[in-house]
Amino acid sequence: MSDEQVAAPTNRRRISQRGIATRERILEAANRLMFVRGVNATTLDDVREASQTSKSQLYHHFADKQELVRALVKYRGALVLQRERGGLERLRSFSGLVRWRNALVQANSLNNGRYGCGLGSMAVELSDQDEQARSMLLETFAAWEKLISDGLHRMRDSGALRQDADPEKLATGLMAALQGGYLLANAAHNVAPMEVALDMALEHIKSYLSEPSGEPTR
């Protein structure tokens, strides 16, 4: 029985810089292609061609397509979390949330709403067919939501948000609005629904802001 069940990229086998670069090139190509075509509609030959590698390389770095997809889930998750950390780590005010919203809308509008969220679409495609992928996606969503709820906690601690605001629920609601917005925008080829959805969630959060110069919360 082999002792390298895990998806870890390196395990016992010596690996060179060149090898790492190839692996990266494969993942990067898979990421691009599967983002626009979907996971199941992308073939390994597509990936091979786009990454300028060969079959033997694909199977050298990944046991099979499922492993490649799982690695992609990790890869995308890391990318998204890194990007989101940039936008949310220092979140301390409502206007910061608005800026965050604008950045997402801006990015999605470049595609006219197409393709949706890299994580959300994988969640839909994979949840019913790969339990391991689903659970990794679930963790990633949790981490993402935590970035939001941490920011909301800071806002509550600083008094910007009222005490009766529930950062976790607000974060979940915001994430659902975001994902639903991506989905509708993708179906419409138009960012507008995503904007409306995010604005709803932001207005909802706004309703928990402390009155700027009113009586204390209770």
Site for its own copies in 85-114 (CB under 8 A): 114
Q: Is 60 near DNA (CB under 7 A)? A: yes
Identified binder of DNA from the candidate list 4, 11, 21, 49, rule CB under 7 A? 21
Token readout for 114 is 């197409």
Kindly provide the b/e burial profile for residues 100-126, where b requires at least 16 CB atoms within 10 angstroms of the residue's own CB: bbeebbeebeeeebbbbbbbbbbbebb
Q: How many residues bind DNA (CB under 7 A)?
A: 24
The minimum distance between CB 114 and its own copies, in angstroms, equals 7
Q: Indicate the residue among 203 and 215 with the shorter CB distance to its own copies.
A: 203
The minimum distance between CB 127 and its own copies, in angstroms, equals 5
Identified binder of DNA from the candidate list 7, 44, 188, 209, rule CB under 7 A? 44
CA distance 216 to 106: 37
Beta-carbon contacts of residue 147 (< 8 Å; ≥ 6 apart): 81, 84, 85, 88, 89
Identified binder of its own copies from the candidate list 137, 148, 152, 165, rule CB under 8 A? 137
Cβ proximity of 87 and 148 under 8 Å: no
Among 15-23, 57-65, 80-88, 167-175, the segment contacting its own copies (CB under 8 A): 167-175
CA distance 167 to 155: 9
End-to-end Cα, the chain, rounded Å: 64
Q: Which of 148, 168, 150 is nearest to 158 (CA)?
A: 150
Q: Which stretches of the chain bind its own copies, using CB under 8 A?
A: 36-38, 40-41, 114-116, 120-121, 123-125, 127-129, 134, 137-138, 141, 169-170, 172-173, 175-181, 183-184, 186-189, 193-194, 196-197, 199-201, 203-204, 207
